Structure 1
């Protein structure tokens, strides 16, 4: 797992440690020290801790004028034991919502498992985005299936055309436009 890095080619567009509105503002990264781990497996130092022992994140891009954020995840999303959604919601999402962000692009290709529980934090998050949305890109099929078993798909959109395999070839704005277009179609059909 230590070889899986968050996507870094967008650092020329955005760096959360240089963003005064980011919860990670001012964070200094020591790329020589691997201190964070998931189940005893060290992870790359560039991943950010938000309170969960099994799930880490990296804010790849935030645009406050357009009101969207792109977040990449690594690890196991475990609501049953670690209540990861509570940590994400209370320690990160609430802060980001206060900046005017209401559209969330979650990249989950490095989420290795999902264990569900109560959906109340998802429901709360969904209600707070109001005119926005939450889109999950590239989550593994079995992770999406497990999320659907816990009815998370009532709050987070995933599957189908949200498998945007070429997202790394796009700029952050181009990815946002692709996802926003897909979400507009989903919302107008639903």
Structure 2
């Protein structure tokens, strides 16, 4: 797992450690020391801890004018034991919504497993972004993770699958990816 890095090519456009509105503003990264682990496996120091033992993120891009962010995930998303959605929502999402972010692109190709619980935090998040004209879209999650999320009715709150299966997302610049996802979301919502 230590060889799985968050996507670095967009650092020229956005760095959350340099964004004074980011939850990770001012964070210092030590790339000589691997200290964070998921189930005893070290992960790359560039991943950011959200307060979960098993789920880490990297905010790849945020645009405050258009009100969107792109977040990459790694690890196990475990709502059953760790209540990761509560941790994510309270520690990261709410801080971003307070800054005017209401459109969320979640990239989950490095999610290794999902354990669901109830959907109340997803519903709350969905209602809050919907009230502001926003949405939550998940791309590049493994099929078995989508299937498990659907079992817990999360597909009622997070748009995913079908045309949103954008495995080549790295080939886009962040604003182009947003335009593509936004267009697909608007077609689904209409």
- In the superposition, the TM-score normalised over structure 2's length comes to 0.98
Q: Secondary structure at the match of 1:157?
A: coil
Q: Name the counterpart of 2:56.
A: 56
Q: Secondary structure at the match of 2:184?
A: helix
Q: Name the counterpart of 2:171.
A: 169
Residue 100 of structure 1 pairs with residue 85 of structure 2: no
1:111-150 alignment, distance < 5 Å:
111-129=111-129, 130=131, 131-150=133-152
Q: Name the counterpart of 1:183.
A: 185
CA distance in 1, matches of 2:105, 2:85: 15
Displacement, 1:118? 1.1
CA distance in 2, matches of 1:158, 1:165: 12
CA distance in 2, matches of 1:102, 1:122: 14
CA distance in 2, matches of 1:127, 1:69: 18
Q: Pick which of 165-174 and 58-67 moved more.
A: 165-174
RMSD over aligned CA atoms reads: 0.4
Q: Deviations over 1:29-64 (max 9, x none)?
A: 000000000000000000000111000000000000
Q: Secondary structure at the match of 1:125?
A: helix
Which runs of no fewer than 5 residues in structure 1 stay unpaired? none
Residue 45 of structure 1 pairs with residue 52 of structure 2: no
Which runs of no fewer than 5 residues in structure 2 stay unpaired? none
Displacement, 1:166? 1.3
Q: Secondary structure at the match of 1:158?
A: coil
Q: Name the counterpart of 1:70.
A: 70
Paired residue total: 188
Q: Name the counterpart of 1:19.
A: 19
Displacement, 1:165? 1.4
- 2:160 alignment partner, one of 158, 161, 165: 158
- In the superposition, the TM-score normalised over structure 1's length comes to 0.98
